[in-house]
Chains A and B, each alone.
Chain A
Amino acid sequence: MRGNLFIIILVCSLVGVTISACGTTETTSIEPQTLTIMTHDSFSISEQVLDEFQNEHNVNVRFIKSGDTGTAVNKAILAKDKPLADIFYGIDNTFLSRALAEGIFESYQSPLLADIPDEFELDQNYDALPVDFGDVCLNYDIEYFVENGLEPPATLDDLINPQFKDLVVVQNPATSSPGLAFLLATIGKYGDPGYLDYWEDLVANNVLVVNDWEVAYYQEFSRAGGSRPIVVSYGSSPPFEVIYAETPIDEPPTAAIVSDGACFRQIEFAGILSGTQNRDLAEKWIDYMLGPTFQEDIPLQMFVFPVNQNAELDETFVQFLAVPENPSFVSPEQITANRENWINDWTEVVLR
C-alpha cells in the first residue's frame, strides 16, 4: 500500500525535475555565451529572427519576463547592484526618467541611431535607446455610428458634445497604462490645469471609467457586446481587428481618432544594464534590435511599430494603420515629476 505513495511521489518529483531541467540542457560544439534580456510580459519575437542572431554570434539568448512594464522597471532598479540581465528592453517614456535617475543603464550610442528620427531619441545621453512606439488613441465602433446615423467624433473636443453622452469608456490612469497615456494626451493638449476642466466636461457627459484595458475593450466597448461605442485603446487596434478576426474580413470594424493632440505616443526603449559582463554582445543585441530584421518583426509580435524608418511594414498596416502626425507630447521628466499630482487631481475630479 505504501508503495503506491512512493511511486506517486517519485512520478511527481520527476515531473518537477524535468520541468526545471529542460531549460538548462543545450549542447553545442563550442560553448556558446549566454546573453540575458530582462523584459515585460508583452515581449515576443519570431523564432527565425532570434535564431539568426544566435547563430551569427554563437550565443544563447535568454529572456526573463518580469511582469508588466512598471513592475519590470522597478525590479531592474532594485536589482541594480546585482543585475539580473545584460539588457533591459521595454521601458516606456512614462517610466523612463525614473530609471535614468537611478542610473541603471550604461550609455551606448549605436550607429543605427542614424536611421531613427530624432523625435524618438528622448534620452540625449543614450543610456536608453528607442526601439518601438505605439499611439494610445480613441477607437470607435464604425457600425454603431452608421446604424445610428451619427457622425463619429474627430477630436477630443467633440467628446464633450451632447451627442456623445454615455458613449465613451476610458481606463483609470492609476491602474492602466493606456489610461495614463490618455490622461497625458489631455494634459498635453489642454495643459495643466486646463485638462481638469476638460475632464469635468467628460464626467458631465457621463464618461465611464474602468480599471483595465481588458474590461474596457472586451466588455464595455460596443464592438465586443458592451454599450459604449468609443473606447481608449491603441492606434494599432483597428488593423489588428483585421489580422485577428474570427472570420476573415476586408476592413477594420473600428477606427482610431488620430487628429492633432488626440493621441499620446508611448515609446519603448532598450538599454545595456550597468555592470554587464557581456558589453560587446550586449551592443550587438542593441544594434540587432534597431536593425531592419528585428524592427520588421515587431508589429506582429508586439502590436507596436518600428522606430527605424527603413523598416517596411506588413501590407495590412500600410492599408489600415492610422498614425497621428502630431500626437500630444509630455516629456518624461514632466511625467515623473507630476505623475502623482496629476493622477490625484484627476481622481478628485473624475471619481469623487
Chain B
Amino acid sequence: MKLPSRTFSTEFNLRQLFTYAGLWLLPIAFLVIFYFFPLGSILQMSFSRGGAGLISPFLEAIQSESVGQILWFTIWQAALSTILTLAVGLPGAYLLARYEFRGKSLLQALSAVPFVIPTVVVAAAFYALLGPRGWLNLAAMHIFDLPTAPIQLMNTIYAILLAHIFYNTTIVLRMVGDFWSHVDPRINQAARTLGANQFTTFFRITLPIIGPAIAAAALLVFIFDFTSFGVILLLGGPRFATLEVEIYYQTISLFNLPLAAVLALLQLSCTLAMTIIYTRLTRRITQPLELRSRSFTQKKLTTWRSRFFATMIIILLFTILIAPLFALVMRSFTRLEPERGARTVESPGFTLDFYQELNINRRSSLFFVPPTTAIGISLGYASATVLLALAIGLPAAWALARHSKSPLNSFLDPLLMLPLGTSAVTLGLGFIVALNRPPFDLRASPILIPIAHTLVAFPFVVRSLTPSLHSIQPRLRQAASILGASPMQVFRAVDLPMVGRALIVAATFAFTISLGEFGASAMISRPEYPTIPIVIYRFISQPGAINYGQAMALSTILMLVAAGSMIAIERLRIADIGEF
C-alpha cells in the first residue's frame, strides 16, 4: 500500500498513538489503584514487619523442604488437572462449535453452572454422590452385597482432579467452542479434498487455527488450578496443600507475614512465567483468518456417526458436570430424619420444608435475608462486575490485538493475568493496608466487592476477546481508516460485529465469576448485603439438619439463577452481536 504523502503518515501515526495510549489509560489506572498498589503495600508491610529485610525470608523459604514439596505438588496437580480438563472439554467444544441440535443452549447453560457453586457445596455434592455413604457406594454395596464401600475417593488426589475438571470444563467449552464455531469449515474440506486424512487435517489445519483459543483456555484453567484453595482443603483433605493453602495458613494461623509474602511472590512468578510462555506461543501461532457466522459453520446431526459421537459427548458432560449437581438438588428435597434407622438409597421422603424455611427469620436475626433479596444482591453485584470488567477489559484487549508488535504490549500483556494468580488472602489484606485514605477509603464499602470480582474477571474478559480481535484482518481496518473512518467508527463498523460473540462469552465469564465468588465477598462483606454463596455458607457452618437442608435448597436456587442468567445472556441480541 502506498501512502499519499509523508505528512499524512506521521499525522496518522500520531493519532494512532493517542488512541493507543487512550485505550490503556483506564485499564492501567484500575489495575494500579486496585491491584498493584494494594499488593505492593501488603508485601512491603510484610517484609518490614518481619524486621529481617528481604533476604532472610527468601532464604527461609528456599531452604525449607516443605515449601519445595508444596511448590512441586501445586504445579504437578495444576498441570494434570489442565490436561484432563482439556481432554474432557475439547470434544465438547467441537460438538458445540460444529453442530446445531435441540437442547444445545440448555446444555451450554447447564455446563456453566458448576462455575458458580461454592466449594463447600461442591464438597457436599461429591460426598452425596461418591462419598463413603454416597449413592454410588450404597448402590454398589446393595447390588454386589459388599460389607464396605468399594469407592474410596474422598481425600485423595482423584477427588481434587475430578473437582477441577468439574469446575473448569466450562472455560474450555466456551473459549474454544466459541472461537471454533467461527472457523470456516471449507478450509478442512479443502485439505480433505487434497488428500489429507482426518488425522492430518486435524493436526495440520484445525489445531494451528484454534491453537490460540486452546492456549488461552489452558492458561486460565492452569492458573485457576494452580491457585486452588477450597477444592484442595475440602476434597483433598489435610495431606495436600497448594501454595494458596500454605499462604492462608502462614498468614492467618501463624501470622508469619514475611514467609507468606515470599510464597505469594513465588505464586506470582509462576503465574507470570506461564503467561509469558503463553504469550510467546500464541504470538507464533496466531494468524489473521476470516471468521464466519455460525449459521455458515454449523450443521445438523444427520449422519449416524455424528449422532453417536454427539450422544457420547453429551453423556460424558452430563456425568461429570451435571450428575454431582443433581445429587444436591435431590438432597434439597429429601427429608432424612424419620427413616433414619433403615436408611438406604430409596428410603428418604420428599419435602419442601427447606425451601419454606428459607423465608422464615426464626431467630429474628438482624442479618437475615430472604432468598429473593440474596438473589437480587447477587445479580446486582454480578451486573456491576460485568460492566466494570467489560469497561476495562475491552479497551485493553483491543489495544493488545491492534498493536501486537508494540513493545509496551509485550510488557503489559503478561501483567494483565497477574490478578488471577494472586493469593486472595494477600490481596484482601492489601486492600486493608492500602485503600485507607480518601478518595479511596473503600475498606468497608460494598463497592469493593464488584471491584474485587472484576480483578478476577478482567483476565477472562481480555483472554476471551483477544483471539477474535487478533483474527480480524488488519486490511479491513486499514481500508476503513483510509476511507476516512475515525478509530471509533472503525471499532463500531469492523471490530464490534466480529467480536460480538466473544463479547458475550466475556460477559458470561464476568457474570458467573461474580455470582459464585466466595472468598473476597466474605472478607469484605457488609453483612446487610450478603450474596447467595455467603448465605449458603452461613447455613452450612451451623449445626442442625434444617440448616444443612437450607444450604442445599439455596444452592439449588443459585444453580437455577445461574442457568437462567446463562440462557438470558445467550439470547441477548445487541446490535446483531449475538447473531454472528
B132 within 8 A of A: yes
A217 vs B253: C-alpha distance in the bound complex, in angstroms? 22
| Minimal beta-carbon separation of A134 from chain B (angstroms) | 12
With A5-B574, A71-B523, A213-B541 in contact, is A244–B366 under 8 Å at CB? Answer: no
Chain B contacts with A in 290-330, Cβ cutoff 8 A: none
| Minimal beta-carbon separation of B132 from chain A (angstroms) | 5
A319 within 8 A of B: no
A227 vs B137: C-alpha distance in the bound complex, in angstroms? 12
Q: Is the CB of B575 within 8 A of A70?
A: no
Q: Which of B188-196, B275-283, B382-390, B457-465 lines the interface with chain A?
A: B382-390
With A64-B444, A214-B541 in contact, is A351–B239 under 8 Å at CB? Answer: yes
Binary B-proximity of A326-352 (CB < 8 A = 1, otherwise 0): 000000000000011001000000010
A225 within 8 A of B: yes
A12 vs B522: C-alpha distance in the bound complex, in angstroms? 23
Q: Is the CB of A246 within 8 A of B254?
A: no
A180 vs B254: C-alpha distance in the bound complex, in angstroms? 12
Binary B-proximity of A207-251 (CB < 8 A = 1, otherwise 0): 001111111011110001111000001101100110111110100
Q: Which of chain A's residues has its CB closest to B524's CB?
A: A66
Q: Is the CB of A15 within 8 A of B383?
A: yes
List the B side residues contacting A225 at CB < 8 Å.
131, 133, 336, 343
Which of A70, A84, A224 contacts B252 (CB under 8 A)? A70
A243 vs B380: C-alpha distance in the bound complex, in angstroms? 34
Q: Which of B54-62, B169-177, B211-219, B430-438 lines the interface with chain A?
A: B430-438
Which of B365, B381, B543 contacts A301 (CB under 8 A)? B365
Q: Is the CB of A303 within 8 A of B249?
A: no
| Minimal beta-carbon separation of A214 from chain B (angstroms) | 6
A343 vs B253: C-alpha distance in the bound complex, in angstroms? 10
Which of A13, A143, A247: most chain B CB closer than 10 A? A247
B446 within 8 A of A: yes
| Minimal beta-carbon separation of B98 from chain A (angstroms) | 29
List the B side residues contacting A71 at CB < 8 Å.
252, 425, 428, 523
Q: Is the CB of A215 within 8 A of B544?
A: no
B22 within 8 A of A: no
Which of B45, B377, B525, B543: most chain A CB closer than 10 A? B543
Chain B contacts with A in 209-248, Cβ cutoff 8 A: 233-234, 237-239, 245, 248
Q: Is the CB of B437 within 8 A of A20?
A: no
With A1-B575, A16-B450 in contact, is A246–B545 under 8 Å at CB? Answer: yes
B516 within 8 A of A: no
Which of B131, B336, B340, B443 contacts A226 (CB under 8 A)? B131
Which of B253, B450, B526, B546 contacts A246 (CB under 8 A)? B546
A4 vs B384: C-alpha distance in the bound complex, in angstroms? 17
Q: Which of chain A's residues has its CB closest to B235's CB?
A: A215
Say which size band chain B's interface belongs to: 35 or more
List the B side residues contacting A174 at CB < 8 Å.
238, 249, 253
| Minimal beta-carbon separation of B155 from chain A (angstroms) | 7
Q: Is the CB of A15 within 8 A of B384?
A: yes
With A74-B429, A211-B238, A303-B543 in contact, is A143–B340 under 8 Å at CB? Answer: yes
Q: Is the CB of B384 within 8 A of A241?
A: no
Q: Which of chain B's residues has its CB closest to A76's CB?
A: B432
Chain A contacts with B in 56-93, Cβ cutoff 8 A: 62-68, 70-71, 74-75, 77-79, 82, 84
With A12-B383, A15-B380 in contact, is A211–B251 under 8 Å at CB? Answer: no
A84 vs B381: C-alpha distance in the bound complex, in angstroms? 23
Which of A63, A78, A98: most chain B CB closer than 10 A? A78
Q: Is the CB of B233 within 8 A of A175?
A: yes
Q: Which of A45-53, A189-197, A257-265, A268-276 lines the interface with chain B?
A: A45-53
A41 within 8 A of B: yes
Which of A23, A42, A214 contacts B123 (CB under 8 A)? A214
List the B side residues contacting A247 at CB < 8 Å.
335, 337-338, 353
A225 vs B234: C-alpha distance in the bound complex, in angstroms? 17
Which of A9, A211, A340 contacts B233 (CB under 8 A)? A211
A30 within 8 A of B: no
A114 within 8 A of B: no
With A219-B124, A245-B544 in contact, is A20–B365 under 8 Å at CB? Answer: no
A43 within 8 A of B: yes
Binary A-proximity of B369-383 (CB < 8 A = 1, otherwise 0): 000000001011101
Q: Is the CB of A215 within 8 A of B123?
A: yes
Q: Is the CB of B133 within 8 A of A46?
A: no
B180 within 8 A of A: no
Q: Is the CB of B363 within 8 A of A241?
A: no
Which of B132, B233, B365, B450 contacts A45 (CB under 8 A)? B365
Q: Which of chain B's residues has its CB closest to A179's CB?
A: B238
With A44-B365, A339-B254 in contact, is A172–B238 under 8 Å at CB? Answer: yes
A318 within 8 A of B: no
Q: Is the CB of B337 within 8 A of A244?
A: no
A55 within 8 A of B: no
Q: Is the CB of A1 within 8 A of B574?
A: yes
Q: Is the CB of B254 within 8 A of A340?
A: yes
Which of A44, A64, A74 contacts B255 (CB under 8 A)? A74
Which of A64, A74, A210, A303 contacts B542 (CB under 8 A)? A303
Which of A66, A249, A351 contacts B523 (CB under 8 A)? A66
Q: Is the CB of B527 within 8 A of A5?
A: no
| Minimal beta-carbon separation of A231 from chain B (angstroms) | 10
Which of A2, A20, A41, A220 contacts B575 (CB under 8 A)? A2
Q: Which of chain A's residues has its CB closest to B46's CB?
A: A78
Binary A-proximity of B98-117 (CB < 8 A = 1, otherwise 0): 00000000000000000000
| Minimal beta-carbon separation of A296 from chain B (angstroms) | 13
With A41-B522, A244-B547, A246-B337 in contact, is A209–B575 under 8 Å at CB? Answer: no
Residue numbers of B with Cβ under 8 A of A are 42, 45, 120, 123-124, 127, 131-133, 149, 154-155, 233-234, 237-239, 245, 248-249, 251-256, 335-338, 340-341, 343, 351, 353, 363-367, 377, 379-381, 383-384, 386-387, 425, 428-429, 432-433, 436-437, 443-447, 450, 522-529, 534, 537-538, 540-549, 572-576
Residue contacts A-B, CB under 8 angstroms, 10 given: A16-B384, A45-B367, A70-B252, A74-B251, A75-B429, A82-B437, A211-B234, A213-B541, A226-B133, A240-B544
Sample of 6 more A-B contacts, CB < 8 Å, known A74-B429, A247-B338 = A1-B576, A44-B367, A220-B132, A224-B548, A241-B543, A339-B254
CB-based closest 5 A-B pairs: A244-B544, A16-B384, A70-B252, A12-B383, A172-B238
